[in-house]
Amino acid sequence: MERKKIVVIGAGPAGIAAAVEVKEAGLAPAVVVEKAGHACDTIVRFYRDGKRVDADYQKVKVAQQGLLSFATESKEEFLAEMDSVINRHVLDIRYNQECHKIEVKNDTFHIHTAGGLSLEANIVVAAIGIFGKPVRPAYPIPKELRDKILFSLPKEPLDGKDVLVVGGGDSAAEAACFLCQKNRVTLSYRRPNFFRINEINMCTLNGCCCEGKVKTKMPSDIEGLEPEGKRIKVLFNNDTPLSFDVLFYFLGGSTPQVFLENAGVRFSGRKPQADECGETNIPRLFLAGDLVLDRGSIMGAFNSAYLVKNGILSRYRELVTV
């Protein structure tokens, strides 16, 4: 078992920022364990190629507090910038190491990964995000339809399909505008108006709607799905069913509750309990990024890492000074 002072779990924006913050504060450098073979896997997997990465996401402006920040740029530019942050700060990231357990042992934590790594740490920062498990609808998805129901844009482009996009945030709007270039797209949202979509996406969406490339169906209340030959029959409350070839859900992510509860983290409803520095009810176990944010974003993730570092510095400096 390798002994480390600080272990960060997850090399997304929050995990990378946490490792940078503690290193630049002169604390013991963190080891970061990442389940994918590269950093920022949520961005690699869920953002379509060329996507604009908004610094003000879902209409929320977040002022920089910590060391990391970025200006709106493309997915590729953002990922290149994160790679250069990793190299510039010589971060110790162990890839292909999915942490499946955080064990609390007296004064230390034992971190076990699927890649066979065992680490002992004084302080753990969990920054594993919420997109490992996208939110699914409350109604069941019939197994015959599973290959037609998607939670992110496919690598292979779709062409000439009837597509239903479900959701009311920026991801749903971006997906609808992208897919409508080659498909007939309907965007279904349960509320009467969009209120979370940022101005650029709203403007693009309005343009697509005016040109008749995207139809909106709102408020709409989907009650269930049924197979209809090779298509999907979508059943609405108080409305006629509609038929589609492919259905996309962009309903956000869900907190990895079981993983955190197994480590002893208490929850209030679906939110893990954490104080202003991200420290949980388990002393020295911190949370950063989407796990602790009400409205997750990259800038929010960067800032939460700065707050974690402040918590470590003010509460546990003697444990983590080199």
DSSP 8-state secondary structure symbol assigned to residue 145: G
Cα 322 to Cα 317: distance, rounded to the nearest angstrom: 10
The residue among 81 and 98 lying less far from ligand FAD, judged by its C-beta, is: 98
The residue among 131 and 286 lying less far from ligand FAD, judged by its C-beta, is: 131
**Beta strand pairing call for 92-94 and 246-249:** unpaired
Least CB distance from residue 245 to ligand FAD, whole Å? 21
The residue among 279 and 290 lying less far from ligand FAD, judged by its C-beta, is: 290
Q: At 43, which helix (H) or strand (E)?
A: helix 41-46
The residue among 224 and 252 lying less far from ligand FAD, judged by its C-beta, is: 252
Least CB distance from residue 236 to ligand FAD, whole Å? 25
Least CB distance from residue 164 to ligand FAD, whole Å? 17
The residue among 15 and 29 lying less far from ligand FAD, judged by its C-beta, is: 15
**Secondary structure of 251-281 as H, E, C letters:** CCECCCHHHHHHCCCCEECCEECCCCCCECC
The residue among 74 and 216 lying less far from ligand FAD, judged by its C-beta, is: 74
Binding site for ligand FAD (CB under 6 A): 9-15, 33-36, 40-43, 46-47, 53-54, 57, 98-99, 127-129, 131-132, 171, 289-290, 296-299, 301
R_g (Cα) of the chain, nearest Å? 21
Least CB distance from residue 238 to ligand FAD, whole Å? 30
Least CB distance from residue 118 to ligand FAD, whole Å? 14
The residue among 17 and 242 lying less far from ligand FAD, judged by its C-beta, is: 17
Tell me the two tokens of residue 36. Answer: 């994918």
Q: Nearest-5° angle of CA 74, CA 176, CA 234?
A: 145
**Beta strand pairing call for 149-150 and 118-126:** unpaired
Cα 127 to Cα 236: distance, rounded to the nearest angstrom: 38
- Identify each DSSP E strand in the chain by its residue range: 2-9, 31-33, 52-53, 73-74, 92-94, 99-105, 108-113, 118-126, 149-150, 162-166, 184-188, 214-217, 222-228, 231-236, 239-244, 246-249, 267-268, 271-272, 285-287
Least CB distance from residue 253 to ligand FAD, whole Å? 7
Least CB distance from residue 80 to ligand FAD, whole Å? 16
Q: Please enumerate in sequence order all residues whose Cβ is within 8 A of that of 293, keeping only pairs 6 or more positions apart, or say none.
A: 300, 301, 304
> Are the C-beta atoms of 9 and 1 separated by less than 8 Å?
no
